[in-house]
Amino acid sequence: MGDWSTIICWRREQNNINFLKSIRYSQNFIANSSLVKDLVRKSSMSKDDVVYEIGPGTGVITRELAKQCKKVIAVEIDNNLTQKLKEKFSATLNIEIQRGDFLNYSISEPKYKVFSNIPFNITADIIKKLTGLKNPPLDAFLFVQKEAAEKFIGQPLTKETQASILLKSSFELSVVHKFKKTDFRPVPGVDIVLLRILKRSRPLIETKNLQLYRDFITYVFNSQKPVLKQGLKKIFTNYQFSRLAKDLKFSESAKPTDLDFSQWLGLFDFFLKGTDVSKKLLIRSSEDVLRNQQSKLQKVHRTRVAKNWRDS
């Protein structure tokens, strides 16, 4: 009886592990090679570029990138796919297959670009890593869900978000292609687009003020106040806020998502030049605090398993 109990527990644990791996590696591979060729050709990729590919899968994109770029470094987390890719491209000298989790991978190239069909369940983590590096990519093309693209682009697709306002100071974001669901295998249940994240040649916020900007935006968006005026009441006086609303042309009853990027730049510029040190200390480390809170939530989320695991 004890032996059977041990076997059953072992099987449940293996099923749990397999479930978590299936979620972690989830990806819809592009099946239309002619489309990939066209997209790579129309992108900014050139013979002078080193390009990273995140999650190369079966190598359809890898092959086309190698034809157009100086070097392709493909990072694949799945061991079986890694071995197959190494065999497939063993004779292609400008392709380097790396086994690893890109979220923990160190990018060694000082200048590079990215072109990838990434796993959708870690889209936010990948974009956060790429755009948060000291040497972010000069240009990046990522296959993402339409809703994710809207979140990171904000206007003109939808209202601005905390993510879009943070990114736009250093990057230009746009959708450069809308895929058909039949372009992928398995066929996804969501709409997929090609998101471009182009590094600005000159950031709109000076490097010395960038962290203050990020803390300011994070503080306001996470103030738990639905109306912008309430969220900023410890930062600006009523007179200052009313004047800013008039000068920047937004309603005094506006929510954070109602303002466009230029209006946010105007708010921050006044915060930077028109408030004293005590106000700046008030919002200091807001981004770090939020990051720590999110990290704790992610740890809790990662411990969850399939609801029906006992039935496996």
Residue type, 297: L
- pLDDT for position 243: 98
pLDDT digits (tens, 9 = 90+) for 230-257: 999 999 999 999 999 999 999 999 999 9
For residue 186, pLDDT over 80 is answered with yes
Query: 155 to each of 192, 251, 257, 258, 260, how far by Cα in Å?
Result: 18, 18, 10, 10, 7
In this structure, the number of other CB atoms found within 10 A of the CB of residue 136 comes to: 18
Beta strands per DSSP E along 183-283: 184-185, 192-199
pLDDT digits (tens, 9 = 90+) for 82-123: 999 999 999 999 999 999 999 999 999 999 999 999 999 999
Q: Tell me how far apart the alpha carbons of residues 178 and 192 are, in angstroms, rounded to a whole number.
A: 6
For residue 12, pLDDT over 70 is answered with no
pLDDT digits (tens, 9 = 90+) for 273-291: 999 999 999 999 999 999 8
- pLDDT for position 298: 66
Domains of the chain (ranges, CATH numbers)? 29-199 (3.40.50.150), 207-301 (no CATH)
- Sorted by sequence, the CB contacts under 8 Å of residue 248 that are 6+ apart come out as 259, 263, 266, 267
pLDDT digits (tens, 9 = 90+) for 161-173: 999 999 999 999 9
Query: 14 to each of 11, 121, 303, how far by Cα in Å?
Result: 5, 22, 15
- pLDDT for position 293: 87
- Mean pLDDT for the chain? 89
For residue 59, pLDDT over 70 is answered with yes
Query: 306 to each of 27, 254, 282, 301, how far by Cα in Å?
Result: 18, 41, 42, 12
pLDDT digits (tens, 9 = 90+) for 189-224: 999 999 999 999 999 999 999 999 999 999 999 998
Given a contact cutoff of 8 angstroms between Cβ atoms, the answer to whether 243 and 277 are in contact is: no
Query: 271 to each of 7, 103, 224, 237, 276, how far by Cα in Å?
Result: 63, 34, 20, 11, 9
- Confidence at 14, pLDDT banded by 50, 70, 90: very low
- pLDDT for position 295: 80
Given a contact cutoff of 8 angstroms between Cβ atoms, the answer to whether 85 and 59 are in contact is: yes
- pLDDT for position 9: 44
What mean pLDDT comes out for the span 55-66? 96
For residue 3, pLDDT over 70 is answered with no
Helices (H) and strands (E) in the chain, counts: 13, 9
- pLDDT for position 31: 86
- pLDDT for position 18: 39
Q: Tell me how far apart the alpha carbons of residues 160 and 250 are, in angstroms, rounded to a whole number.
A: 14
For residue 22, pLDDT over 80 is answered with no
Among residues 226, 236, 229, the alpha carbon closest in space to that of 283 is found at: 236
- Confidence at 310, pLDDT banded by 50, 70, 90: very low
Q: Which residue has the tokens 């010395």?
A: 208
> Which H/E stretch holds residue 41?
helix 33-42
Sheet with 50-54: strands ordered across: 95-99, 71-76, 50-54, 113-117, 139-145, 192-199, 171-178
